[in-house]
A and B are shown apart, each in its own frame.
Chain A
Amino acid sequence: MPPLCEVADLKTHFPLRGPAAWLRALKEGKPPVVRAVDGVSFTVDAGETVGLVGESGCGKSTVARTLVRLVAPTAGSIRFDGQEIATLGDGAFNAVRPDLQMVFQDPTASLNPRLSVRRMVGEPLKLHTRMSAAERRARTEAVLEEVGLGADLADRYAHELSGGQRQRVNIARALVTNPRLLVLDEPTSALDVSLRARVILLLEELRQRHGLSYLFISHDLATVRYLASRVAVMYLGVIVEQAPAGALFDRPAHPYTRALLAAVPVPDPDAPRDPFVLAGEIPSPIDIPTGCRLRARCPMARPVCAEPVPWREVAPGHFAACHLV
């Protein structure tokens, strides 16, 4: 069976603007661009959760925003449900939107403060279906019920809800059109510990019940391990490692993944610690190093790392972009 969503060599670049950018363009002969996403390929199967992890600035959110066409891709292909959607016009893309929804990071900022919960959750139905007002109302209330919000909350406004309730409203809005794929952009990172656990469980329950697919984008690796069946690790616009969740977390192949995992504090004072750390900080996505993008920071770097990096299968289904594995 072909994957539900297949992203191949996706690139999203942003041109720099302003006087500083003009100066650089004069000096270097070409206008500077931010290569936020610079050749990313992955697939999401039906009913599967794929985790996309990385630190801020790695381009994971840009991948999410490109998938739902909040930004246009520069190059590459996105096949969704057998259809190429990267090249669709904005109008034609609208027909895909009911099947491809997104949940945002900040549960408060992603709700319009002037609309009631009912209007916000019912809005996609108004835009994409020919349901009558009564049908919309029934569907809206059913979805609210499903995400664990009583119908009595439907007439409230965002500021009258708690943080956990707000994120449930966001999830309800994304779910109301029965999508196939949900892009979850850090949906739990603005929530408190106990709310986070509930939203994670809710997402998992909804996925199982409806056979949903998730692209779960997060820097919270523990949550990714809990939810995802496969995980891709991004660094500076590219995927450096991709593997089934268990394999990735237990046997990371790429030095970047290893350093990332080593940095996560484990809630166990006796857990063994991997002292592996990278030097320095993530470089700017304008001046990307040639060869392996990590080589300036990697303690294992060798001269070969300046060469173009191969994408190798180190174990069945476990891929890494590193000369040294």
Chain B
Amino acid sequence: MADAAHPPIPLTRPVATTMRLVWLRIRRNWLSSIALAIIAAMIVAALGADWIAPFEPDATDAEAALQAPSWHHWLGTDIYGRDLLSRIIHAGRVDLTVTFGATAIALAIGSAIGAIAGHYRGLVDLLVMRCVDSVMAFPAFILAMAITAALGNSVGNVLLAIAITQIPNYLRLIRGEIFRIREMEYADAARVVGNPAWRIMFIHLLPNCLPPIIVQATLAMGYALLTMSALSFIGLGIQPPQSEWGSMTAEGAQYIVTGEWWLFLFPGLAIVVMVLAFNLVGDGLRDFLDPRMRGVR
């Protein structure tokens, strides 16, 4: 709105300045931009691990055991002589699969149930929300531990366990947003022109819930990664021979006393950097998806 404190900004803009505006926006959010680049680089590395990793992750080399970082082995080697960098890159596949997979599943299920609760309200909403409350009564991490302990710790089960602990967050968020947006005048306008219920939900309500959901999902990815690493660290997550940053950190922790610090530091650093990156991107998205910033695309 063109109120006096925010004078109207003209809407027609010359194309030549669009690039400049995009640049301005990136510069304003430079931290998030770097974080996004890190995540993108990690995805590329994980996808192309077979070509990018300098060594086979499982290739043992007895002569190169427990080497400190060097030009040959950038991040050093472990007791079997496996290249740590290659292992971290390959482990990234598991980490990112679970991170994105768990988030996607939680997002899909949470949104669907949240939308149903928001649409029907009344008794349906009451029942759904009490179920959610009971799930949330468990500390999320204990719940994830219980699920993997019960189901067994394959990648699929860890993914599922993390997804289950995250469903309530999306559900609550979507439900709240639907409750808010269904009272907006444009929802009323959609009813007055005769939209059936499904069109109101899918065309008019859900797309407008997206911005906070996207932000939540990005922030939750960091949390998913952290949960999985923690599970693996205590031995309830991904099991050897498959490797994962959390379990690698756990393995590496045994060598701290003997001075082989790189085995612990670098997998741990991978977790920290990625979690931080997800959080920074989430914060950046929050700014970027602010409707007032939508003039620039």
Show the binding face of A for B, using Cβ within 8 Å. Answer: 65, 68, 70, 94, 97-98, 101-102, 104-106, 108-115, 123-124, 127-128, 156-157, 159-163, 170, 173
- By the criterion CB–CB under 8 Å, are B203 and A115 in contact? yes
- By the criterion CB–CB under 8 Å, are B204 and A68 in contact? no
The answer, yes or no, to whether B2 is at the interface (CB within 8 Å) is yes
A–B pairs, 7, beta carbons within 8 Å: A102-B192, A112-B189, A112-B203, A113-B186, A114-B207, A156-B11, A162-B8
The answer, yes or no, to whether B1 is at the interface (CB within 8 Å) is yes
Question: In the complex, A258 Cα to B245 Cα: how many Å?
Answer: 78
Given contacts A108-B1, A162-B8, A70 and B191 within 8 Å (CB-CB): yes
- By the criterion CB–CB under 8 Å, are A159 and B291 in contact? yes
- By the criterion CB–CB under 8 Å, are A112 and B204 in contact? yes
- By the criterion CB–CB under 8 Å, are B189 and A173 in contact? yes
- By the criterion CB–CB under 8 Å, are B195 and A123 in contact? yes
- By the criterion CB–CB under 8 Å, are A127 and B185 in contact? no
Question: In the complex, A113 Cα to B293 Cα: how many Å?
Answer: 13
Residues of A contacting B188 with CB < 8 Å? 65, 70, 104, 110
Question: In the complex, A108 Cα to B185 Cα: how many Å?
Answer: 9
Question: In the complex, A128 Cα to B291 Cα: how many Å?
Answer: 31
Given contacts A98-B194, A123-B193, A111 and B186 within 8 Å (CB-CB): yes
The answer, yes or no, to whether B190 is at the interface (CB within 8 Å) is yes
Residues of B contacting A70 with CB < 8 Å? 188, 191-192
Given contacts A98-B194, A110-B189, A160 and B1 within 8 Å (CB-CB): no
- By the criterion CB–CB under 8 Å, are B194 and A97 in contact? yes
Residues of A contacting B208 with CB < 8 Å? 112-114
Q: Which 5 A-B pairs have the closest CB atoms?
A: A110-B185, A97-B194, A109-B185, A124-B193, A112-B186
Residues of B contacting A156 with CB < 8 Å? 11
Question: In the complex, A65 Cα to B192 Cα: how many Å?
Answer: 9
Tier of interface size on chain B: 20 to 34
Return the contact of A101 from the options B190, B192, B207, B295 (Cβ within 8 A).
Answer: B192
Question: In the complex, A156 Cα to B12 Cα: how many Å?
Answer: 11
The answer, yes or no, to whether B184 is at the interface (CB within 8 Å) is yes
Report B201-231 CB contacts with A as 1/0, cut-off 8 Å: 0011001100000000000000000000000
Question: In the complex, A110 Cα to B181 Cα: how many Å?
Answer: 11
- By the criterion CB–CB under 8 Å, are A113 and B291 in contact? yes
- By the criterion CB–CB under 8 Å, are A160 and B194 in contact? no
Return the contact of B194 from the options A65, A94, A106, A157 (Cβ within 8 A).
Answer: A94
| Closest residue of B by beta carbon distance from A96 | B194
What is the distance, in angstroms, from B18's C-beta to the closest C-beta of chain A?
A: 14
What is the distance, in angstroms, from A119's C-beta to the closest C-beta of chain B?
A: 9
What is the distance, in angstroms, from A48's C-beta to the closest C-beta of chain B?
A: 21
Residues of B contacting A170 with CB < 8 Å? 189
Residues of B contacting A111 with CB < 8 Å? 186, 189
What is the distance, in angstroms, from B214's C-beta to the closest C-beta of chain A?
A: 13
- By the criterion CB–CB under 8 Å, are A160 and B186 in contact? no
The answer, yes or no, to whether B20 is at the interface (CB within 8 Å) is no
Question: In the complex, A161 Cα to B291 Cα: how many Å?
Answer: 14
Return the contact of A127 from the options B11, B186, B195 (Cβ within 8 A).
Answer: B195
What is the distance, in angstroms, from B178's C-beta to the closest C-beta of chain A?
A: 14
What is the distance, in angstroms, from B41's C-beta to the closest C-beta of chain A?
A: 31
Return the contact of A159 from the options B189, B192, B207, B295 (Cβ within 8 A).
Answer: B295
Question: In the complex, A106 Cα to B185 Cα: how many Å?
Answer: 8
The answer, yes or no, to whether B6 is at the interface (CB within 8 Å) is no
Residues of B contacting A163 with CB < 8 Å? 1-2
Residues of A contacting B185 with CB < 8 Å? 104-106, 109-110
Residues of B13-33 whose CB lies within 8 A of A: none
Residues of B contacting A101 with CB < 8 Å? 192-193
Question: In the complex, A65 Cα to B207 Cα: how many Å?
Answer: 25
What is the distance, in angstroms, from A187's C-beta to the closest C-beta of chain B?
A: 12
Given contacts A106-B185, A112-B204, A162 and B192 within 8 Å (CB-CB): no
Other A-B pairs, 5, CB within 8 Å; known A113-B291, A127-B193:
A70-B188, A108-B1, A114-B207, A160-B295, A170-B189
What is the distance, in angstroms, from B234's C-beta to the closest C-beta of chain A?
A: 44
Given contacts A113-B208, A160-B11, A97 and B291 within 8 Å (CB-CB): no
The answer, yes or no, to whether B72 is at the interface (CB within 8 Å) is no
Question: In the complex, A321 Cα to B180 Cα: how many Å?
Answer: 40
The answer, yes or no, to whether B294 is at the interface (CB within 8 Å) is yes
Return the contact of A110 from the options B11, B186, B199 (Cβ within 8 A).
Answer: B186
Question: In the complex, A109 Cα to B180 Cα: how many Å?
Answer: 12
- By the criterion CB–CB under 8 Å, are A109 and B186 in contact? yes
Residues of A contacting B190 with CB < 8 Å? 112, 123
Residues of A contacting B295 with CB < 8 Å? 159-160
Given contacts A159-B291, A163-B2, A109 and B192 within 8 Å (CB-CB): no
- By the criterion CB–CB under 8 Å, are A127 and B194 in contact? yes
| Closest residue of A by beta carbon distance from B292 | A159
What is the distance, in angstroms, from A112's C-beta to the closest C-beta of chain B?
A: 5
Residues of A contacting B192 with CB < 8 Å? 68, 70, 97, 101-102
Report B274-297 CB contacts with A as 1/0, cut-off 8 Å: 000000000000000001001100
What is the distance, in angstroms, from B194's C-beta to the closest C-beta of chain A?
A: 4
| Closest residue of A by beta carbon distance from B210 | A114
